[in-house]
Amino acid sequence: MDTIVAISSPPGVGAVAVVRLSGPEAFKIGASISGLCLSKIKFRYAYYRMLKSLKNNEIDDAIVIFYKGPESYTGEDTVEFFCHSSPAVLTMLIDECISQGARPAEPGEFTKRAFLNGKMDLIQVEAVADIIDSVSPHSLEAALNLRKGILSGIIKNIREKILFLVSEFEAEIDFEEEEMLDMTAYEDRKVLINELISEIQKLIRSASNGIKIREGIKVALVGVPNVGKSSLMNALSKRERAIVTPEPGTTRDLIEEKIILKGLTIILTDTAGIRRAQSMAEEEGVKRSKMAIEEADIVLFVLDASRDLLDEEIQIMKEIPLEKCIFVINKMDIHKKHFVEKIYHMLSKLDSKEIKVFEVSAKDGRGLDELSEAMVKKVFAEGLPAKESILVTNRRHLYHLERAEKILNESLDSLDNANIELTAFLLREASLELSKIIGLVTHDEIMTEIFSRFCIGK
């Protein structure tokens, strides 16, 4: 493989930048630029050196560290330069590395080499990207747990047990048909297959929380025009994200904002007011509002405490999915008591035992902390997973786990029918699904999709 080079720190002017060099010529190029004797280099030792080109032009004073493969991030000989984050310095350093035989790295190529060199499996690779993308403490915790390889170990263990069963069944396929088979052994194998199914189901169940922690909780703010949805969004996000005016129907399109609440990523979506549309643009806005309701994990149905309920609101209450709805009585700073009482009376008529209602004021902030707590509890009814919990957070992993569970259940049916050839085949197919998760079997399009998420330099 050739030698690659890239800036591994964020672009722009700053105090320190990192340039990473990896491959068979990394030490030769690194020693040349830093002026060190290649035969006397100490690994993992920080050298303070003036970096120079082959023409003896000074580039920058920097810290240089050499990592001997396979004890490096990529598993190859690697050099890292810690220099000043100046565009001129970085350009000169990268150009010098290229002139001495390196080439620019592609997005994610350092991590891809780590995967190809056996430094990490595909789950850990994806966890690296998740760590980089993490914006909330809980998403970071989940990604760090995956990076440690614990989930990988669980899946590898299940896969090995499945392959053990395959070997036993395939050994019996050559038996003479008239020979009696040990039915006790078959029952023991059925018990083991059921145990493996249970382990996979446990992982599948964890995805319900894991995916929300990784991707965020989708919250749609809905209601008729002018109840204060945009004001509520601004109050929750603590910034003027949405335009607020006294005029009804200000919001015509979906406005999305990511915020952190209780250590979680919350994706707020301010929707157009739901009413009989006055224009084609507003009609499209209402249509998108209804789509946002369908896709949301939580629907905040916003009501106005300063005026009477509208017939449109009463109708929407009857149509909205109550199981994921929280009713928010806004404008409590200017509320009218008899209007609030009427709202509660109407809500009591809804066919749901778990109606959640919160009185808030987007203007002065009252009730917002309680509402934030309620949103988290709405999604994580049994509480947030423990810090050390192993969660499936990736939809790709979930897909293959569900496929493996389905195939294992089919193998039980074939075993009940004494079809050991089909049973062996199905078990091997189940192991293949698990292999795809950890990267023992890969496809170019999957690899391309995974590494397209990475930045250059990682």
Omega of the bond leading into 70 within 30 degrees of 0 (cis): yes
Provide the β-strand partners of residue 302.
328
Task: Give Cβ neighbours of residue 41 (< 8 Å, ≥ 6 apart).
Answer: 27, 31, 66
Omega of the bond leading into 137 within 30 degrees of 0 (cis): no
CA dihedral sign, ordered 267, 270, 276, 282 = negative
Judged against a pLDDT cut of 70, whether residue 282 lies above it is answered with no
Judged against a pLDDT cut of 70, whether residue 261 lies above it is answered with yes
For residue 183, name the pLDDT band (cuts at 50, 70, 90).
Answer: low
Judged against a pLDDT cut of 50, whether residue 100 lies above it is answered with yes
Note the pLDDT of residue 414: 92
CB atoms closer than 10 angstroms to residue 71: 11
pLDDT tens digits for range 203-237: 999 999 999 999 999 999 998 888 998 899 999 88
pLDDT tens digits for range 375-413: 999 899 888 888 888 999 999 999 999 999 999 999 999
Note the pLDDT of residue 305: 94
For residue 245, name the pLDDT band (cuts at 50, 70, 90).
Answer: very low
The predicted model gives 45-70 an average pLDDT of: 95
Q: Which two tokens stand for residue 275?
A: 């009413």
Judged against a pLDDT cut of 80, whether residue 449 lies above it is answered with no
For residue 360, name the pLDDT band (cuts at 50, 70, 90).
Answer: very high
What is the DSSP pairing of strand 78-85 with strand 357-359?
Answer: unpaired
5 and 20 Cβ atoms separated by less than 8 Å: yes
Find the largest Cα–Cα distance for the chain: 87
Start-to-end CA span in the chain (Å): 17
Provide the β-strand partners of residue 58.
52
Provide the β-strand partners of residue 255.
270
Nearest C-alpha neighbor of 223 from the set 323, 308, 302: 302
Domain 4-119: what homologous superfamily? Probable tRNA modification gtpase trme; domain 1 (3.30.1360.120)
Judged against a pLDDT cut of 90, whether residue 238 lies above it is answered with no
Q: Which residue did the predictor score with more confidence, 224 or 67?
A: 67
**CATH of region 217-379, choose from 3.20.20.140, 1.10.10.1100, 3.40.50.10790, 3.40.50.300:** 3.40.50.300
The helix (H) or strand (E) run that includes residue 359 is strand 357-359
For residue 275, name the pLDDT band (cuts at 50, 70, 90).
Answer: low
Note the pLDDT of residue 411: 95
Q: Which two tokens stand for residue 117?
A: 């060199």
Every domain of the chain and the residues it spans: 4-119, 126-212+394-439, 217-379
Q: Which residue did the predictor score with more confidence, 349 or 445?
A: 349
The 3-class secondary structure across 95-125, one letter per residue, is HHHHHCCCEECCCCHHHHHHHHCCCCCHHHH
CATH architecture designation of domain 126-212+394-439: Up-down Bundle (1.20)
393 and 142 Cβ atoms separated by less than 8 Å: yes
The predicted model gives 311-322 an average pLDDT of: 86
213 and 394 Cβ atoms separated by less than 8 Å: no
CA atoms in the 13 A half-sphere facing the CB of 379: 28
Note the pLDDT of residue 1: 79
Note the pLDDT of residue 419: 87
Q: Percentage of the chain surpassing pLDDT 90?
A: 62
The predicted model gives 152-177 an average pLDDT of: 85
Q: Which two tokens stand for residue 120?
A: 């990490």
Average pLDDT over all residues of the chain: 88
Judged against a pLDDT cut of 60, whether residue 438 lies above it is answered with yes
Mean pLDDT is highest, among 59-73, 160-174, 265-279, 330-344, for 59-73
The predicted model gives 425-435 an average pLDDT of: 95
What is the DSSP pairing of strand 357-359 with strand 298-304?
Answer: unpaired
CB atoms closer than 10 angstroms to residue 357: 16
